[in-house]
Structure 1
Amino acid sequence: MNDKISCIITDDEPYARKGLQGYIEKISFLDLKGSCEDALQLNSLLEEEPVDLLFLDIQMPLFTGIEFLKTLRNPPKVIFTTAYAQYAIQGFELEVMDYLLKPISYERFFKAATKAKEYFALKARPDESTAYLFVKSNGKFEKIVFADILFIEGMENYVAIQLKDKRIVTHSTIKSLLEKLPARQFIQTHKSYVIGIDKIDRIEGNLLHIQKYQIPISKYLRKVVMTALIT
């Protein structure tokens, strides 16, 4: 990918399109390729010119943004721009990059755009899936590959690291171990749990499902967790 992120605005409200276009023109690393009124126009434009990023409204005539996104086999990354907060969970399930609630301030828009820039910059880097650390367990040092961690459970002065194929217990605390993990890959959901963000299969109420395991979301951390998962 070149230095700029190609993008398209889709919103049935003219003032919303104009506002987003004005924001994009102020950001040097965004390259606006088109502005659409609905999903049908967007589909035609994508057939002519694929882009990196969509600024996509949800409630539109004919197709909602969510319905349209589900039809795409290899969709671009998406930032939802909507007046409706209730679609946040569906946004997470569709792996959208961010979820902007109208009216959208320039500061909030710039933050979402910067997040997209960081994502594409990271994507262009060499594979980091083999990053690891060593922990002491049962008198020996075990290599823990970050990509293999499903979740971490705190147990007073010990933590249990649940991997894809085994469970390793080490003398540590949730706090000290979390400081060693990459922030974009892990998040604390409860005073006793840290999870691998990309390992979540689904969310039901205050429970995260990771394979056969159910991980609680603390009511005090729920807002932070849901925001992080969506973004």
Structure 2
Amino acid sequence: MPRKITCIITDDEPMARKGLQGYIEKIDFLQLAGVCEDALQLNSLLRQQPVDLLFLDIEMPYVTGVEFLQQATNPPKVIFTTAYEQYAIKGYELDVLDYLLKPVSFERFLKSANKAYDYFQSTGSGDKDHLFIKTDTRLEKVKFAEILFVEAMENYVAIYTAERKLITHSTLKGLQESLPPAQFIQPHKSYLVNMDAIGAVEGNILHIDKYQVPVSKYQKEEVMERIGYRK
């Protein structure tokens, strides 16, 4: 069976959280990694434990689900859960997987969960350990573990491994959706990095094999937390 899809519930209503938790327990390819009462708790949890999928309420205190998603860097895929239909258009603008209206029936939840399953299978985030990259007239197989980092170059991206550099027509965001989120981090708007490939951190520079990758000041704290640094 493919790797389970890890997910977090975030909702300020206790009964809504309990209902979603019960639904998730019934579906064998979903694995609940955490339950949060608001976006602030979610923000802290994601820094410690990256996941594949969020079941995210919209109307919450402090920070709404929409506001959280708008400011998040490299967020998991999202299924919105809300009692308000007027957010549907905004949800699709933010490229969410689905939009569940409360009260959510199990039948509708299962349909949404299957949609997430199909998405992760098609992007290679299930049990696959590789992706195929189109370069000129060839399709090149690249294992996730081989990738050191990815660099954005206008309408192209360069994928660096220890042995080769592959250039393909894609956006950084488009390629990011094909990579396992628990393994790759975005330290800068122009780079994705395999955390296993980071050899050292020096100031705002990541040393990766013979290369150096910059870290933006906005991402420094998250990078240090994700690699396990403790002050």
Q: TM-score if structure 2 supplies the norm length?
A: 0.54
1:85 match: 85
2:38 match: 38
CA displacement, residues 178-221 of structure 1 (integer Å, 9 cap, x when unaligned): xxxxxxxxxxxxxxxxxxxxxxxxxxxxxxxxxxxxxxxxxxxx
Q: Which amino acid aligns with 1:31?
A: Q
2:7 match: 7
1:71 match: 71
Measure the CA separation in 2 of the matches of 1:108 and 1:28.
16
Measure the CA separation in 1 of the matches of 2:17 and 2:39.
14
1:151 match: none
Structure 1 runs of 4+ with >6 Å offset: none
Q: CA deviation at 1:35?
A: 0.3
1:96 match: 96
CA displacement, residues 17-72 of structure 1 (integer Å, 9 cap, x when unaligned): 00000000000000100000000000000000000000000000000000011111
| Alignment root-mean-square deviation, CA | 1.6
Measure the CA separation in 2 of the matches of 1:128 and 1:109.
34
| Residues 213-224 of structure 1: pairs in structure 2 closer than 5 A | none
| Residues 179-198 of structure 1: pairs in structure 2 closer than 5 A | none
Q: Which amino acid aligns with 2:110?
A: F
Question: Larger radius of gyration, structure 1 or 2?
Answer: 1
Measure the CA separation in 2 of the matches of 1:73 and 1:47.
11
2:106 match: 106
1:163 match: none
Q: Where does structure 1 lack aligned partners over 5 or more consecutive residues?
A: 131-231
Q: CA deviation at 1:8?
A: 0.1
| Residues 172-211 of structure 1: pairs in structure 2 closer than 5 A | none
2:118 match: 118
CA displacement, residues 128-181 of structure 1 (integer Å, 9 cap, x when unaligned): 989xxxxxxxxxxxxxxxxxxxxxxxxxxxxxxxxxxxxxxxxxxxxxxxxxxx
DSSP-derived class of the 1:8 partner: strand
Does 1:16 pair with 2:7?
no
| Residues 124-139 of structure 1: pairs in structure 2 closer than 5 A | 124=124, 126-127=131-132
Structure 1 residues 103, 44: CA separation in 2 closer, same or farther (over 3 Å shift)? same
Measure the CA separation in 1 of the matches of 2:20 and 2:70.
23
Q: Where does structure 2 lack aligned partners over 5 or more consecutive residues?
A: 136-231
Q: Which amino acid aligns with 1:67?
A: E
User: Percent of pairs identical after alignment?
Assistant: 69
Number of residue pairs matched?
Answer: 129
